[in-house]
Amino acid sequence: MSAPDLTRRRLIKVGAAGAMLGMLPGCSPHGGDIPQAQSPLPFKPGQPVPWINWAGNQACQPLQRFAPDSEAAVVDALRQSKGIIRAVGAGHSFSPLVPTDDSLISTDLLAGLISHDPATLQAEVWAGTRVQQLGPLLAGIGQALPNQPDLDYLSMGGALATSVHATGPRFGPMTDYVTGLTLATPTGELIECSASQQPEIFQAARTSVGALGLITRMRLQNQAAFDLVEVNRFENTEDVLDDIDNRMAMHRNFEILPLLHSPLCLSVATDLAGPDDVPSGEDDPQAVNTLRAAYEAVGWLPGIGSATYARLLDMLSLAMGDSASSVRVGPSYRIFPHVRIVRFREMEYTVPVEAGPACLREILSTVRKKNLPVCFPLEYRYVKGSDVWLSMFQGMGERGGCSISVHQYGDIDYRPYFAEIEPIFWKYQGRPHWGKLHTLDAKRLAALYPAHWQDFQEVRRSLDPQGRMLNPHLRHILGV
C-alpha cells in the first residue's frame, strides 16, 4: 500500500474492520444505532423561541432578542434591554455563559472588515465576525492571523471572552493578538481601550466571559499571509511524550490526540509549506464515529472488551507503518481548522507545561484501570503564556501551559466520565477553559488567579455595578 493510499479514513477503517459486527442488531449496547442529541428546549407556540447552543446542552427562552448591525444599534439595545443581558456569538461554548430568559443580544450582524494598515499588518474587525469569515477577508489584504484554533465557527468576540487558543508554544491565546477594542457597557457607553488607553479595562475586557458588556470591534495584530503543511501520523503515545520537547521545538505547531484504551495517538505537526509539499489523503470528519462503532462492537464484552478494542487499533498501526495518514497543504486559514460535524461535550483544563505529560498519563491510566466506557480521543496542546488577567495562560511565561481536552459524544451523559477525570486536573493545579464544562466555583477559581482576580472584580463593578451582565453561572464563577 503506497503512502498516498494511507488516508485517515482508510486507516481507521482498517483498525475497525472487526467492528462491522457492531452494525448488526444486538451486537452492541445500542443495537448498532447511534441516537442523536435532542434539543433541551423544544419550541412551543405562544412562548419565546428557544436559544440553543451548538452542543445542545445549554438553552434559554429570552423575552427580548436584539440583533444590532451597528454600534449605535448596540447602544440602543443595551439601553432598551430589561433584566439580565447576555451577548451571544456563534454559540460554541459548552458552559452556561449565554443563557438568560431576559435579554439576549446577538452579534451576528456585527461582522466584517472595518479597516486595515498594510504597513503594520493590523486590521480592525467587527466582533461578530466568525473566524471562518476572517480568514478570506484577511487574505484579501495580504494578512493572516498568526495562529488559529482548529475550530473556525467561533465569533471573534466570543473567542476573546473565553481566551480561545490554538496550539504551539510560540503562540499565545487569540486575546494576545488584540491591540485595541471598543467595549459597550450595560449603560450604553462606548469605551475605546488599549494598552495605553484605559489599560485596566483593556486587560479585563480581553478575557471577560462577557461580564463587562459587549465588545463591538477589535484591532488585530496580524502577519503576512502564509501557507502551511499539516502532517497527521498514528504513533505510540509514550514515544511522543518521551520526545515532546523536541517535537514542540521542531514544528511550528504540534499536538496529539491520544486514543483511549490504546497505546496510540494521532500526532498533528504543522509547519510553513515549501514548494515540494503536496497534499495526500483526506481529513475525515466522521472518524470519531468510526471509532465509536469499533468500540461499541467489542467494548461491552465482559472482561475483554477494551483489550479487544485496543488490538483492533493496533491493526491500524501495523497497516500504517511509518507513512503519513494524511497531508494537507494550503493557506493557513484553510489548514488550521477541521470540520466538526459530530456533536460532543467538552471539558478542558490548562496545567503548567512541566506537568502536562504526567497529567495526561494519569488520565489515560485512570480510563484504562477503571475501564471507563469512553472512546472519544483526548486532545493535548501547548500554548505560550499570556499577561491577560483572566486568560488560562496568565503568568505562565514563555514556557506557557499545557491544555488537555476531554470529550464525550453529545448523546451520552458526560457527567460520570468528567467527574472521574476532573480531580486529576485539580491535582496538577489546572485552570478550566471558560467556555467549557467544569465544576469550580469563585473561591477555587480565585485561588488559581492570585495576581489579578481582584483587579478584574474591581473593573467589573465599576462598569456594571448592578450586575446586569451576570446570569446565574457568572454569579457562581465570579462570586457575585
At 166-190, the pLDDT tens digits run 999 999 999 999 999 999 999 999 9
With bands split at pLDDT 50, 70 and 90, how would you rate the model's confidence at 452? very high
Q: Measure CA 308 to chain center.
A: 31
Percent of the chain with pLDDT over 70: 86
With bands split at pLDDT 50, 70 and 90, how would you rate the model's confidence at 299? low
Is residue 322 pLDDT above 80, yes or no? no
Query: How do residues 4-60 score in pLDDT, each as one tens digit?
Result: 333 444 434 434 433 333 322 223 333 333 444 456 787 888 888 999 999 999 999
Q: Residue 345: which residues within 8 A CB-CB, separation 6 or more?
A: 55, 57, 94, 407, 408, 410, 414, 437
Range 113-224: architecture per CATH: 2-Layer Sandwich (3.30)
The pLDDT of residue 315 is 62
Cα–Cα distance for residue pair 174/192, rounded to 1 Å: 19
The pLDDT of residue 222 is 98
User: Which residue bears the cell 449605535?
Assistant: 72
Query: How do residues 270-298 score in pLDDT, each as one tens digit?
Result: 999 999 989 887 777 777 877 777 777 66
Cα–Cα distance for residue pair 212/328, rounded to 1 Å: 40
The pLDDT of residue 23 is 29
Q: Residue 259: which residues within 8 A CB-CB, separation 6 or more?
A: 237, 265, 266, 291, 313, 375, 377
What is the DSSP annotation of 277-314?
---BS---TTHHHHHHHHHHHHTTSTTTHHHHHHHHHH
The pLDDT of residue 387 is 96
Reading the block at residue 243, the C-alpha cell is 520526545
Where do the structural domains in the chain lie, given as residue ranges? 1-33+226-338, 51-106, 113-224
Work out the average pLDDT over 397-426: 95
Query: How do residues 52-99 score in pLDDT, each as one tens digit?
Result: 999 999 999 999 999 999 999 999 999 999 999 999 999 999 999 999
Reading the block at residue 202, the C-alpha cell is 483593556
Work out the average pLDDT over 405-412: 94
Query: How do residues 129-145 score in pLDDT, each as one tens digit?
Result: 999 999 999 999 999 99
Percent of the chain with pLDDT over 90: 76
Cα–Cα distance for residue pair 48/220, rounded to 1 Å: 37
Specify the higher pLDDT residue, 300 or 146: 146
The pLDDT of residue 37 is 47
The pLDDT of residue 467 is 97
Reading the block at residue 430, the C-alpha cell is 489546572
Region label for 263, one of left (φ > 0), alpha (ψ between -120 and 50) or beta (otherwise): alpha
Using DSSP, state whether 71 is helix, strand or coil.
helix
Query: How do residues 258-275 score in pLDDT, each as one tens digit?
Result: 999 989 999 999 999 999
Sign (positive/negative) of CA torsion 167, 173, 179, 185? positive
95 in Cβ contact with 438 (< 8 Å) = yes
The pLDDT of residue 281 is 72
Q: Which of 346, 447, 436, 452 is nearest to 390 (CA)?
A: 452
With bands split at pLDDT 50, 70 and 90, how would you rate the model's confidence at 1? very low
The pLDDT of residue 21 is 30
Of 388-392, 398-402, 472-476, minimum mean pLDDT range: 398-402
Query: How do residues 95-112 score in pLDDT, each as one tens digit?
Result: 999 999 999 999 999 999
Reading the block at residue 233, the C-alpha cell is 501520523
Cα–Cα distance for residue pair 455/449, rounded to 1 Å: 10
Output the average pLDDT for the chain.
88
Cα–Cα distance for residue pair 453/176, rounded to 1 Å: 19
